[in-house]
A and B are shown apart, each in its own frame.
Chain A
Amino acid sequence: MTASIPNLRLLDHSAVARELDLASELFHRINRIIPQDQKVLTVPPKCRVRDAIKLMQEHGYSQLPVVNEGEVLGVFSFRSFAQEAARATLDEWNREKCGPGDLTVDEFLEQFEFARVTEEMNRVFDAIDRDNGILIGTPERLIGVLTPMDFLRYLYQVASPFVMISEIELALRALMRLALSESQIVTAAQRCLSDAYGGADKVPIALEEMTFDNYQSLVSHGESWPQFESVFGGTRTRASAKLKEVAAIRNDLFHFKREITVRDHETLAAHRNWLLSKIKQAEAHAKAEVRP
């Protein structure tokens, strides 16, 4: 197909939408931190405290926005309830002629700050620290609720692939050094990488100078494998497949080509665990050798 439609002249009409697209793709802003599957749970002001707390326990929440006819009146939370309940004296409870659970949530409201989805993360730190949460949107249009745990989960999710890749790469180097001496590494590198680098003198000879693809080439090279087999175990194809898969994710991750998926996380974790088991085996083997 000829892939073009001329004279649409449409781009100006969607400038706002495109700007939002680009900014949200490039920057880690509030929107990214709100869990994707978050369903905002709200209660009406006349909801009884007992029912609200039951709801919070069922969903594992520590606060609930209180909404009346689409407008947020405030937040009912364990803290707001405890503060108000502790303030009242026995006489006051007696005058109410009911237990705290019979009262309605609108008597225990606290006010959270609102933030927009497009705001920077650090803009809300103080509010979250103070209130243990922040509302996203406006009082008339509540979009989400953000808690410290959401921050923690998000930052872990962003950082963990990089951490796992570093563990994988360092473990791989350590295993390669267990299998080959420095001089053997130089020989293997010149044997495996000369074609790619256009001559033996241009080949990186220290592991720290090599790319991840270089490691994969070294390990999976037919002539080198017998030396690596003792530390990697299994077959050359299987070891090479794992490194190839890691290399593909690493490439996408470090060049920021795409978002890392749950499956990528699982793959990295699986291959990290594989290398960890090889390191442990090598350690056990080394200890057994030095034992009298």
Chain B
Amino acid sequence: MIRPTENPPPTAMKLLPHQAALVETVFSPDSKRVVALRSDVGMGKSVALIAVAGRLLEERPMARALFVVPATLRAQFAYMLRAAGVPNRIVDRYAYRELLDATAEKEIWPTGIVMVLSLEFATQPDVEDSLAQSTWDIVFVYEWHVTKGVRTTSLRRILASAQKAVLASATPPSHEIFEVDTTVVNWRRDLVVDSDGKPLFTPPRLLFEEVSFSLDATEIELRSTVIELVKTIGGVAGAWDLRPRMLIRSLESSPEALERSLQSMIYGATAPAEMMEDLIDSEKESASIDKANEGTESGQVVALARRVLQQIEAINNDSKLNAFTALLSRIEDQDGSPRRVLVVTEFLATLFYLAAEIEAHMKCQLLYGAMGADERARSLQAFLGGSGILIASRTAIGEGINLRAVTDLLFYDLPWTEAAAERLLARLQQVGGVRVVNLYVLRATNIADEYKAGSSDRLIKLFRDRP
């Protein structure tokens, strides 16, 4: 059991006992040069790391500190550091050039301010050299388990320049990035206690419901054409091509998502990188993302894609959307208690599609990746502070978002991987979580082709088996 520390960190941040204990561990002379935190999702890793950074700069105002985080979390970390009063600067290529330009000295990295870099940028050869040649008082690496291959080597080089390194991850290490001389801190949801020694986390009970609907004849015909297109692409581009799966996923999401995927195909735009990464993860493939975007479309593929677009235009019914709105009405009328319904989709086009459908009847907030931090905070506050619906893209429900007030979780699209679903479910189980969360998925019952998403059965089982 991890017991709370007797001496909380001298910052104004209100830390949970296990977070305060981590801060103490990092600053303890007994801890090793590298502190590796392995934590279950939703236990406040980022807050703890920010508290460490804050305390370091409080005690040593001229310290040099570096955060290396996934690119998708970079702005969020900067926002959280700022909110905690810790001066910081996001360093991308532009900022890096300005740092180079600002001094003729070899050392370009300033002190007294936390540098926030994406993992991808930090491991670019010239940046890596510069980081590795500096002397860092502390380097934080967040979600370090995502590093693979040469990036691992790069990260090791950067870490070697740090007097102290804190590595945090929600996933058990599949390879050892850190040296043997490491202090390992393990945060497990079932082991963490509050200051009275009672279990801190009370996971909600999930009430799972599969909401069935049937596609009508026009929707089934559309699906047949999309499958024909998928088979044609398979013949043109080869097995590494991720677009067929993207098409099927978008077809199963909404007509808007499908239309956008087809337009991307016709006009040559690429799928968002994070989606591709998800797909690669889910299929355990090593195919390169770049390769997925290569390939020229044959006239046949483009002609078929245009035919699908015409079919979408001609269809006036959306059975899934109808099932969705009926479900929302049912949830709203359930028991008179205020409901906070989180609707999660994988596609931005679907997010706006759902918002357009329901906003005339119900109050709803939106949350998606391109929103600025302030706007995002406002949206979350409006949702969590009252009742209503939050429609969110799954990738935007990331680090630092507390979903404990959610009463109903509705997966409009099934997450693309089990890990993604698990990460999201864990966010419901934070401190003070509600007792029961209703979990819904929408599923067409009259699809029998081989292109039905293979992972959906596994996911449904995962939801059913969950206590």
State which residues 87-138 of A face B: CB under 8 Å: 116-118, 136-138
State which residues 1-41 of A face B: CB under 8 Å: 1-11, 13-14, 16-18, 20-21, 24, 31-32, 34, 36-37
Known: A8-B61, A138-B104. A3 touches B87 (CB 8 A): no
Give a binary string over B37-68; 1 marks a CB under 8 Å from any A CB, 0 the rest: 00000000001000000100110011000000
Taking the closest CB of chain A, its distance from the CB of B412, in whole angstroms, is 13
Which of A1, A14, A118, A267 has a CB less than 8 Å from the CB of B47? A1
Question: Are B94 and A31 interface neighbours, CB within 8 A?
Answer: yes
Q: Say yes or no for A233: interface residue by CB 8 A criterion.
A: yes
Chain A residues with Cβ below 8 Å from B372 are 252, 257-258
Question: Are A8 and B87 interface neighbours, CB within 8 A?
Answer: yes
Chain B residues with Cβ below 8 Å from A258 are 370, 372
Q: Which of B106-114, B185-193, B232-240, B279-287 contacts A (4 or more CB under 8 A)?
A: B106-114
Chain A residues with Cβ below 8 Å from B294 are none
Known: A9-B61, A16-B110. A237 touches B357 (CB 8 A): yes
Q: Which of B6-14, B24-32, B143-151, B452-460 contacts A (4 or more CB under 8 A)?
A: B6-14
Chain A residues with Cβ below 8 Å from B269 are 266, 269
Q: Say yes or no for A59: interface residue by CB 8 A criterion.
A: no
Give a binary string over A45-77; 1 marks a CB under 8 Å from any B CB, 0 the rest: 000000000000000000000000000000000
Question: Are B370 and A261 interface neighbours, CB within 8 A?
Answer: yes
Q: Say yes or no for B349: interface residue by CB 8 A criterion.
A: yes
Known: A13-B113, A237-B318, A258-B372. A3 touches B83 (CB 8 A): yes
Chain B residues with Cβ below 8 Å from A149 are none
A117 to B87, CA, bound (A): 24
Question: Are A36 and B94 interface neighbours, CB within 8 A?
Answer: yes
Known: A3-B84, A222-B360, A233-B313. A14 touches B110 (CB 8 A): yes
Question: Are B110 and A17 interface neighbours, CB within 8 A?
Answer: yes
Question: B124: nearest residue on chain A (CB-CB)?
Answer: A39
Taking the closest CB of chain A, its distance from the CB of B29, in whole angstroms, is 23
Give a binary string over B80-122; 1 marks a CB under 8 Å from any A CB, 0 the rest: 0001111101001111011111101000001111000000000
Taking the closest CB of chain B, its distance from the CB of A146, in whole angstroms, is 12
Question: Are A137 and B101 interface neighbours, CB within 8 A?
Answer: yes
Taking the closest CB of chain B, its distance from the CB of A234, in whole angstroms, is 5
Question: Are A234 and B94 interface neighbours, CB within 8 A?
Answer: no
Give a binary string over B369-395; 1 marks a CB under 8 Å from any A CB, 0 the rest: 010100100000000000000000000
Question: Are A241 and B84 interface neighbours, CB within 8 A?
Answer: no
Q: Say yes or no for A144: interface residue by CB 8 A criterion.
A: yes
Interface of B is mostly: helix
Chain B residues with Cβ below 8 Å from A5 are 11-13, 54, 58, 84-86
Chain B residues with Cβ below 8 Å from A141 are 100, 104
Q: Say yes or no for A245: interface residue by CB 8 A criterion.
A: yes
Which of B12, B99, B100, B357 has a CB less than 8 Å from the CB of A137? B100
Question: Are A17 and B113 interface neighbours, CB within 8 A?
Answer: yes
Q: Say yes or no for A270: interface residue by CB 8 A criterion.
A: yes
Question: Are B98 and A24 interface neighbours, CB within 8 A?
Answer: yes
Question: A115: nearest residue on chain B (CB-CB)?
Answer: B101
Chain A residues with Cβ below 8 Å from B61 are 8-10, 13
Taking the closest CB of chain B, its distance from the CB of A259, in whole angstroms, is 10
Question: Are A241 and B101 interface neighbours, CB within 8 A?
Answer: no
Highest count of chain B CB atoms <10 Å: which of A5, A11, A235, A241: A5
Q: Say yes or no for A240: interface residue by CB 8 A criterion.
A: yes
A222 to B356, CA, bound (A): 12
Highest count of chain A CB atoms <10 Å: which of B95, B102, B313, B356: B356
Which of B101, B112, B352 has a CB less than 8 Å from the CB of A13? B112
Q: Say yes or no for B256: interface residue by CB 8 A criterion.
A: yes
Q: Say yes or no for B292: interface residue by CB 8 A criterion.
A: no
A244 to B313, CA, bound (A): 18
Question: Are B12 and A4 interface neighbours, CB within 8 A?
Answer: yes
Q: Say yes or no for A190: interface residue by CB 8 A criterion.
A: no
Known: A31-B97, A270-B263. A244 touches B356 (CB 8 A): yes
Question: Are B97 and A143 interface neighbours, CB within 8 A?
Answer: yes
Give a binary string over B259-276; 1 marks a CB under 8 Å from any A CB, 0 the rest: 110011001010010000
Which of A1, A6, A8, A235 has a CB less than 8 Å from the CB of B318? A235
Known: A14-B113, A240-B356, A257-B372. A24 touches B95 (CB 8 A): yes
Taking the closest CB of chain A, its distance from the CB of B396, in whole angstroms, is 13
Q: Say yes or no for A263: interface residue by CB 8 A criterion.
A: yes
Q: Say yes or no for B177: interface residue by CB 8 A criterion.
A: no
Interface residues of B (CB under 8 A from A): 11-15, 47, 54, 57-58, 61-62, 83-87, 89, 92-95, 97-102, 104, 110-113, 255-256, 259-260, 263-264, 267, 269, 272, 312-313, 315-316, 318, 321, 348-349, 352-353, 355-357, 360, 370, 372, 375
Q: Which 10 A-B pairs have the closest CB atoms?
A: A13-B112, A240-B356, A14-B113, A241-B356, A241-B353, A5-B85, A3-B83, A245-B352, A5-B54, A2-B14
| 8 further interface pairs, Cβ-Cβ under 8 Å (given A1-B84, A14-B113, A143-B100) | A3-B85, A21-B89, A32-B94, A242-B256, A263-B370, A267-B260, A269-B267, A270-B267
